């Protein structure tokens, strides 16, 4: 079992819709979670991080963390074609040296 | 732009050769982590350097080695290249190893023939 699991997609949503990206993790010691966006041929770009249970909002993005269910999600409101990319979920317990990444979910926003 | 730079951007090597990849971290960041990303996969942790010392290592063989310099720039060296080493190599810098928000450079794409 992979430590961080994501559905590979593609997840296709129409422009203006809400895109919901999900991630589960197996290491209960994980304390912090990160969402990165990666365009084809480019490096990962940090979107948000979340440490506490609940929701965290930043512009059109909302990250949700449920440690009891070992579940992290990212909602993108008013999706735009420019949001089309692969979204990587990563986790890491405090003090751990590395981030553990999922394989990413490919999002396609249809104009 | 994250302020993290990597060189070269692309590299082609043949099996058995050695390669050195370079990374300059964001100003003020003293921790550098290296990742390997194969096509269609998420980045895999290779190792991390904090204040010039190796601070953690993933499941990579010893032919993957690194250095961090007093200015916190870093090198990744890979000896005896294998075909499976073909990947995007990413360097990420952070402000201390306790602060885990890591910012990635543009990466070096390595092709081993």
Nearest by CB to residue A97, choosing from B42, B56, B107, is B56
Q: Phi and psi (nearest 5°) for B84?
A: -70, -5
β-bridge pairing A4-5 and A85-92: unpaired
Measured CA to CA, the distance from residue B18 to residue A32 in angstroms comes to: 36
Task: Please indicate if any CB of chain B lies within 8 Å of the CB of A49.
Answer: yes
Chain B nearest CA to A94, separation (Å): 7
CA distances from B38 to A92, B24, B80, B109 (A): 21, 22, 18, 10
Asked if the peptide bond before residue B8 counts as cis, ω within 30 degrees of 0, the response is yes
| A97 in contact with B, Cβ within 8 Å | yes
Residue B94's pLDDT is what?
A: 85
pLDDT digits (tens, 9 = 90+) for A4-45: 999 988 999 999 999 999 999 988 878 889 999 999 999 999
Poorest-pLDDT segment among A93-97, A98-102, B24-28, B97-101: A93-97
- Closest by Cβ to B100, choosing from A32, A43, A101: A32
The tens digit of pLDDT for each residue in A73-109 reads 999 999 999 999 999 999 985 444 678 899 999 999 9
CA of A33 vs chain B CAs: smallest distance (Å): 9
- Report yes or no: B106 and B81 within 8 Å, Cβ to Cβ: no
């Amino acid at each position: 079992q992979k430590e961080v699991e994501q559905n590979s997609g593609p997840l296709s949503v129409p422009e203006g819709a809400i895109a919901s990206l999900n991630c589960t993790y197996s290491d209960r010691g994980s304390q912090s979670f990160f969402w990165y966006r990666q365009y084809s041929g480019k490096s990962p770009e940090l979107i948000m991080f979340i440490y506490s249970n609940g929701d965290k909002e930043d512009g059109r993005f909302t990250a949700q963390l449920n440690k009891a269910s070992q579940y992290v999600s990212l909602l993108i409101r008013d999706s735009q074609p420019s949001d089309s990319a692969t979204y990587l979920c990563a986790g890491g317990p405090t003090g751990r040296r590395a981030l553990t990444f999922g394989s990413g979910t490919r999002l396609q926003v249809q104009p | 732009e994250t302020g993290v730079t990597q060189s070269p951007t692309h590299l082609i090597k043949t099996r058995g050769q050695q390669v050195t990849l370079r990374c300059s971290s964001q100003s003020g960041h003293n921790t550098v982590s290296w990742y390997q990303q194969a096509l269609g996969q998420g980045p895999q942790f290779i190792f991390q350097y904090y204040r010039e010392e190796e601070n953690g290592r993933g499941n990579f063989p010893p032919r993957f080695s690194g250095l961090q310099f007093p200015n916190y720039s870093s090198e990744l060296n890979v000896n005896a290249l294998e075909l499976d080493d073909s990947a995007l190599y990413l360097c990420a810098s952070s402000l201390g190893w306790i602060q885990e928000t890591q910012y990635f450079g543009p990466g070096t794409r390595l092709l081993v023939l």
